[in-house]
Amino acid sequence: MKKIPFLQIVLFILTMLSTLFVGAMQTGADILKDPWKIYYGLPFALTLMIILLTHELSHYFASKKHGVNATLPYFIPAPTIIGTFGAFIKMKSPIVTRKALIDIGASGPIAGFIVSVIAVMIGLHLSKIVPVAETKGALTLGDSILFSFLAQTVLGVTPADSDILLNPVAFAGWIGLFVTSMNLIPVGQLDGGHIAFAFLGEKQTRLSFILVLVMSLLGVLLWEGWIIWAVLLLVLGLRHPPVISWEVPLDKRRKVIGWLTFVIFILTFIPVPFRIL
């Protein structure tokens, strides 16, 4: 008889509530005064939770496919501007081959990326172009290559004195693309680290160290959050655990998938994710 994952269920419910709260606050609802208005946060919360769930379940099923013992996703509720620190699964047994490493590492970002793009396109259709004066003092989101392309495709060229007021669905999709990019950084045991190790082996540790230095430099020059991210990655460790059967080569399909994730990383990378106008 399988054990019911009570902890994962409780964390999922708490994260759903925290993202609902944040989503409602984004609409201007006063939840403390009118708690029933929390349902205003449904568009944001449901979109973000679907993106995160898609990402983590893709890792989970890829792990099961390759005989790796993995847990169901743990969601992390948090008092942040998005109501969560994301989600993760734990792998309780080693990964045997580099093929499995590619499949497990790439499945989550690719699946989450697809859902995020759909959310952004739907959300942009519901978004508004407003004068810059209306967004003064507001949190401004950085643009990746892909998001800029999607915004121009859906809304057209934004006038110089205007900005896009994102619909909550589009904001959740933006977060999904940002999370995808952060996960695909080829450092340590991030998804990108799994993929890089499958290609480079022990050389990936050297690459991780170089990229942490680059992030620290970006933190000084562009956005302080990169320094926090670099320190966190150092704490988590830059070395990737070895696979059991390294001698099993990567086939052409896995190599294509690996390079595809690199392209997704470039398209979704945002040098300055957040700033205040």
Of 155, 173, 166, 156, nearest to 117 (Cα)?
A: 173
**In the chain, what are the domain boundaries?**
6-201+240-276
Which two three-digit tokens encode residue 144?
Answer: 């990746």
Beta-strand pair 139-141/84-88: unpaired
State the DSSP H helix or E strand holding residue 129, giving kind and residue range, or none if neither.
strand 128-131
User: Which pLDDT does position 162 carry in this prediction?
Assistant: 81
Considering the chain, what is the average pLDDT of its residues? Answer: 93
Arithmetic mean of pLDDT, 85-92: 94
User: Which pLDDT does position 73 carry in this prediction?
Assistant: 97
Would the pLDDT of 196 be above 80? yes
Write the pLDDT tens digit of every residue in 241-254: 999 999 999 999 99
Which two three-digit tokens encode residue 268?
Answer: 């979704």
Write the pLDDT tens digit of every residue in 111-170: 999 999 999 999 999 999 888 777 676 778 999 999 999 999 999 877 777 888 899 999
State the DSSP H helix or E strand holding residue 85, giving kind and residue range, or none if neither.
strand 84-88
Write the pLDDT tens digit of every residue in 91-116: 999 999 999 999 999 999 999 999 99
Name every residue whose Cβ is closer than 8 Å to that of residue 44 and which is 6 or more positions away in sequence.
Answer: 19, 22, 23, 26, 168, 169, 171, 172
Percent of the chain whose predicted confidence (pLDDT) is above 90:
83
Would the pLDDT of 33 be above 70? yes
Would the pLDDT of 231 be above 70? yes
